[in-house]
Amino acid sequence: MTGSSSRSVALVTGAAQGLGYATALRLAADGFAVAVNDISDDGRLAALASKIGGLAVPGDIAEQFSGVDVLVANAAAMDMGSFLTQDPRTWWRQVEVNLSGHFRLIQAVVPHMRAAGGGRIVLIASGWGVIGHPNATAYAASKAGLIALAKGLGRELAPQGILANAIAPSYIDTEQLGVDAADAGITLDEMRQRYRELIPTGQLATVEDIAAAVAFLAGPGGSAFVGQVLQPGGGVTRARA
Amino acid sequence: MSVGAEQVVVITGAASGIGAATAALFGRQGWRTAGLDLRPSATDLSLSCDVTDAAAVRSAIDAVARQFGGIDAAVTAAGYYEEGIDVCDITRTQWDSMLQVILGGTVNTCAAVLPHMLARQSGTVIAISSELALGGSATDLHYVAAKGAVLGLVKSLAAELAATPIRLNVVAPGPTDTPLLAPDSLWRKPDYLATLPLGRLVRPDEIAATVYYLATEGVMYCGEVLSPNAGAVI
């Protein structure tokens, strides 16, 4: 982490909406200087940066960005479909966004973290990366790869003071549910109720719940976590190997 | 879980080590703390209690609830450690005692505290297990088995109570710098520490911080295991 005379810098990807947006708000509230990134550049990012006194860095930043103490790799894409019939390009695009994209960004931020003597990397995976899901093989594979990446990075970088971990949420109440509802031809409330029935606690996670998990791993309380996979999913992934 | 003034946490094993660090952190955060231990603890209400005695635990927990008006969180940290015993040399007494304190203490505390929490439809239980139960160990089999039993117990209780507002989870510490590790413990040897990605023991305050996170912001964890372990088990 950088010295106490300046705030630590966090970079959150996929921050224009949902989980990334809430995470940026939470880290800013916890005292980080936050840079927010998203592939989309429609004004939401600038508005968020303005709201939290942060910095908007839209577009593909992997090659350009360093000087970060905490990386929250959250950007993701999902395109469900049957394994045998899905267009291979659609399949591999999810791996490119969810896994390879984060890989390049990690390579960009690690040198600064090394020079600074430490840092935190939080990879946003998914419960489906832990237990799989039908018609989501690309998503599950990419998220499982992200989990393994967190473990490997954890082992490799902890000796340099860089702590890498993953969070694997299950169902979260975000704008994405509206998309799911439209796909299913039902109302948003009906969609929420369908997902609640899949969760042992009957509660969808809020984006603030996941942002809190990020804040914990990024903050002083997370200092002994290496290569771990936090699963705030209301019990969805409890029964796993 | 309610977020208001003066929430109450009861901690078994609060007199030292992880239990003491947890009591100290919650106290600094404005919680009312109660400690159950064989020895006095630095808590708002220190009760002498043998966690292997179900009736004594019930009595102590009821006293805490009466004193403070309820219990918001319970942390089962009571335990002890023995190492360097070959599997064939563990006596029946050593085996039974370890199970009674570590598993029995957790069972007795849950049995005593859950009725209070269910009556208020609010509360969380965090059990202290060990990374050794996740990855196995050697020359401390009875300890590992007891800490492992706690995993099964809490995951099952969490499943049983999933539809209620009560949350139960486990913190599995890595090798932690507490009096449980003797000065000549193998876990303190430089050769061993060099095998850990973080290269050091975990501090009790790091375990306390994890417990605090679960108790205050962990509503979405149900039967989960959080393991701040310096990379001992990944």
Please give the positions of B annotated as active site.
143
Does the CA dihedral A54-A55-A58-A64 come out positive or negative? negative
Q: What is the mean pLDDT of residues A227-236?
A: 98
pLDDT band at residue A42, thresholds of 50, 70 and 90? Answer: confident
Test mutation, B29, B213, B220, B222, chain A, max A CBs within 10 A: B220
For residue range B77-128, list pLDDT tens digits in order.
Answer: 999 999 999 999 999 999 999 999 999 999 999 999 999 999 999 999 999 9
Tell me the pLDDT of chain A averaged across its residues.
Answer: 93
**Distance, CA of B157 to CA of B160 (rounded, Å):** 5
Non-local CB neighbours of A128 within 8 Å, separated by 6+ positions: A136, A139, A140, A143, A170
DSSP letters spanning chain A:
---TTS--EEEESSTTSHHHHHHHHHHHHTT-EEEE--S--SSHHHHHHHHHT-EE--S--TTT----SEEEE---------TTTS-HHHHHHHHIIIIIHHHHHHHHHHHHHHHHT-EEEEEE--HHHHH--TT-HHHHHHHHHHHHHHHHHHHHHGGGTEEEEEE----B-STHHHHHHHHHTS-HHHHHHHHHTTSTT--PBPHHHHHHHHHHHHSGGGTT--S-EE--STTTTSS--
Residue A134: Cβ within 10 Å count: 10
Which of B158, B167, B220 is nearest residue A209 as measured by Cβ atoms?
A: B220
Does the CA dihedral A41-A145-B221-A202 come out positive or negative? positive
Q: How many residues can be counted in chain B?
A: 234
With an 8 Å Cβ cutoff, is A53 touching chain B?
A: no
Angle at which helices B141-160 and B105-120 pack, to 10 degrees? 20
pTM of the entire predicted model? 0.94
Q: Which residues of A touch B159 (CB under 8 A)?
A: 200, 235, 238
CA atoms within 13 A on the CB side of A181: 16
pLDDT band at residue A67, thresholds of 50, 70 and 90? Answer: confident
Q: Coil, strand, or helix at residue B197?
A: coil
Helices and strands per DSSP (H, E), number in chain B: 8, 7
State the pairing for strand pair B167-171/A162-167: unpaired
Task: Give ∠ CA B224-B227-B228 in degrees, rounded to 5.
Answer: 145
Q: What is the mean pLDDT of residues A218-222?
A: 98
Residue recorded with tokens 């840092």: A119
Q: What pLDDT score does A62 carry? A: 65
With an 8 Å Cβ cutoff, is A20 touching chain B?
A: no
For residue range A80-122, list pLDDT tens digits in order.
Answer: 899 999 999 999 999 999 999 999 899 999 999 999 999 999 9
Residue recorded with tokens 């417990």: B211
Kindly list the distances between the CA atom of residue A25 and the CA atoms of A1, A167, A223, B94, in Å, as whole numbers in the listed order: 20, 18, 22, 52
Q: How many residues can be counted in chain A?
A: 241
Chain B interface residues facing chain A, Cβ-Cβ under 8 Å?
Answer: 155, 158-159, 162-163, 167, 174, 197-199, 202-203, 206-207, 209-210, 212-213, 217-224, 226-231, 234
Query: Is this prediction's ipTM beyond 0.90?
Result: yes
Does the CA dihedral A56-A232-A220-A218 come out positive or negative? negative
